[in-house]
Amino acid sequence: MRKNIVAGNWKMNTTLAEGVGLAKDVNEALKGIDAKCDVVICVPFTHLASVAGVIDSKLGLGAENCADHVKGAYTGEVSAPMVASTGAKYVILGHSERRQYYGETSEILKTKVNLALAENLTPIFCIGEVLEERENGTFLDVVTKQIEEALFDLSAEDFGKLILAYEPVWAIGTGKTATAEQAEEMHAHIRSVIAGKYGQEVADNCSILYGGSCKPSNAKEIFEKPNVDGGLIGGAALDCASFMGIVTAF
Ligand code: PEP
């Protein structure tokens, strides 16, 4: 059966010293509780190796992106093999900020997913509609298309290795959270789209996280929904107490 997961996305925040300190704090806090979910922190590339050295196996580590090439003359890029070599096990792909600011298309993301899987990294693949699409009622179709275009060339076995994160773009970093009902409607839809392609068992085994201004005060209500299997957490992951407040919402 699918896992419950809370994953932090630190984005372009924290210096190396601050990041290592935050990772240590989360690691210590986790030791003291019996978490009912897997816990992952996705950190800047520059922090990966150092953070890997200060956390225990109970805390998962991921990158926030990887390149769409394996190696070579791609100045400034970081490949999936490079990410994996740090000890990271996860990689966020398709975050709306990457799609919006760096022009990442479904074609590019398809390549990135394959390269990540080839390194045994678990992609945390983000999908979600912008405000206009929410308001004009096309949001279910938009998300269906994002999944179909980037992921439906995968075998059922490889699809089964993914974590999905539904992140309505209008809720990311805005303080505006989707209601638990809006999240559940979309998560149930996503699961039915997966079932239509890969069958009910693959769909039932897929962890689908919610992301978008999730905080300790709203996490419980959202996570209680049957098709919501945890959260991808931005801002609130930068503070150990807030992040742990979300982890313990399970
Ligand atoms: C995110 O960017 O993945 C995210 C969910 O951000 P926030 O929690 O800050 O809305």
Residue extents of the structural domains in the chain: 5-247
Average pLDDT value for residue range 219-231 = 98
Q: Is the CB of 63 under 6 A from ligand 1?
A: no
Distance CA(224)–CA(131), nearest Å, equals: 25
Write down the H helix ranges in the chain.
16-31, 48-52, 80-85, 96-102, 106-118, 131-135, 139-151, 156-159, 180-198, 200-205, 216-223, 240-247
Q: Measure Cα distances from 36 to 39, 66, 71, 88 in Å.
A: 9, 29, 38, 22
Q: Which residues are catalytic?
A: 95, 167
- Mean pLDDT (the chain, rounded): 97
Q: From 123, 75, 121, 73, select the one nearest 98 (Cα to Cα).
A: 123
Ligand 1 atom with the smallest distance to the CA of 97 is 2
Q: Provide CB contacts within 8 A for 187, sequence distance 6+.
A: 166, 208, 210, 225, 227, 228
Distance CA(116)–CA(92), nearest Å, equals: 10
Write down the H helix ranges in 65-199.
80-85, 96-102, 106-118, 131-135, 139-151, 156-159, 180-198
Q: Is the CB of 128 under 6 A from ligand 1?
A: no
Q: Is the CB of 212 under 6 A from ligand 1?
A: yes
> Band of the pLDDT at 163, cuts 50, 70, 90?
very high
Nearest CA to ligand 1 atom 2: 234
Q: Is the CB of 211 under 6 A from ligand 1?
A: yes
Q: Is the CB of 44 under 6 A from ligand 1?
A: no
Q: From 158, 100, 160, select the one nearest 128 (Cα to Cα).
A: 100
Nearest CA to ligand 1 atom 1: 234
Fold of 5-247: TIM Barrel (3.20.20)
Tens of pLDDT, residues 8-21? 999 999 999 999 99
Distance CA(202)–CA(160), nearest Å, equals: 6
What is the distance in A from the centroid of ligand 1 to the CA of 199? Answer: 30
Question: Pocket of ligand 1, candidates 6, 11, 218: which has the most ligand atoms within 8 Å of its Cβ, to mutate?
Answer: 11
- AA letter at 200: Q
Q: What is the pLDDT of residue 107?
A: 98
58: number of Cβ within 10 Å: 11
What is the distance in A from the centroid of ligand 1 to the CA of 204? Answer: 25
Per-residue pLDDT for 177 more than 90? no
Q: Is the CB of 8 under 6 A from ligand 1?
A: no
Tokens of 203: 């769909």
Q: Provide CB contacts within 8 A for 205, sequence distance 6+.
A: 1, 2, 160
Q: What is the pLDDT of residue 174?
A: 86
In the block, tokens 């994953």 appear at 7
208: β partners? 164
Question: Pocket of ligand 1, candidates 9, 10, 166, 239: which has the most ligand atoms within 8 Å of its Cβ, to mutate?
Answer: 9
Q: What percent of the chain has pLDDT over 90?
A: 97
Tens of pLDDT, residues 76-127? 999 999 999 999 999 999 999 999 999 999 999 999 999 999 999 999 999 9
Nearest CA to ligand 1 atom 4: 234
Nearest CA to ligand 1 atom 7: 234
Per-residue pLDDT for 173 more than 90? no
